[in-house]
Amino acid sequence: MIREKFEEISRRVWTDIDFANRYRTIYGEETITDTILLELAKQNFRNIRILQTPKLAESVQGTDWEWFVGSRTHGWIRYAIQAKKLNPKTNKYDSLNHKVGAPPNDNYQIDILQKFADFYKAIPLYNFYNFFPRAIQANHWHCNQDFDRELLGWSFTLLRNVEIAIGNRGFRTFDRIHNFHETLPIRCLFSCPLFKMLYQNESTSESTGNLFGVPFKKVTNLPKQFLDILESDYNTREIGSLTEFPEGLYSSELNIYPKRIAIIDLSNEELY
């Protein structure tokens, strides 16, 4: 169910970017992310909960998304995510090396994301929203399922691949970034055998795991606020937002927080 929904959304992102470009309308990454959030919320999935986070005046909103993916049985993997949209006119990611904040206290987004991931032992990812009709299986498809171009409407890669792209002239493109073998359709995060091992392996519960050479540590117990939201009937008037970040998962010492949180419970999902 989760896989199918993320496939559907990926196709929609692909076609909507195309239409926005044809009709010369503004369709930025913030709008796409909010549309995805709304689409997931509308489904009333019991195993997906989307939370809007508090706006803390003195904090740095360091990531676009934070996802907790897994189950109560085996623990939760924490992903810190930054989203970027492909410019369909140039086939480049224009804001890949974006800075936030005002000088002299401005920082590169990629550094903030890395700092957040290091502090919390999360996996740092970049999500990409794309329309690239010249995508081909040989160069741009690294999933073990059949090639489906439109599923590249929403893809992801490791932060280190974005570092390579930023550091090399001509690499901030769909073609270059989707040449990395760790760049995959977003549905792979929930359904491929590699991730199945991560989510269902209890041996990493108290120790550091590894994904493509990126260390992480599972969260064995989500805070009560999260579990209450996950187990309650979905009602946007009562839940769907946090009034404060739960202690234990976030630290004022770091003072970097996600803009949105997703809790994705795979307990009853088939991972192939």
- Residues of the chain by 3-state class (helix, strand, coil), percent to 5: 35, 25, 40
Asked whether 205 and 76 are in contact (CB, 8 A), the reply is no
pTM: 0.93
pLDDT computed for residue 191 by the predictor: 84
Predicted local distance difference test score (pLDDT) of residue 236:
42
pLDDT score, position 173: 98
Q: Which residues of 55-79 are buried (b: 16+ CB within 10 A; e: fewer)?
A: eeeebbebbbbbbbbbbeebbbbbb
Q: What is the pLDDT of residue 85?
A: 97
β-pair partners for 10: none
Which whole-number Å values give the CA distances from 173 to 49, 92, 133, in the listed order?
Answer: 32, 4, 14
Best CA proximity match to 229, nearest among 241, 218, 217: 241
* Residues with Cβ within 8 Å of residue 57, at least 6 apart in sequence: none
In the block, tokens 């081909």 appear at 136
Question: Which residue positions in the chain have pLDDT lower than 70?
Answer: 57-61, 202-207, 233-240, 270-272
* 3-state DSSP assignment of residue 165: helix
Residues making up the chain, counted from first to last: 272
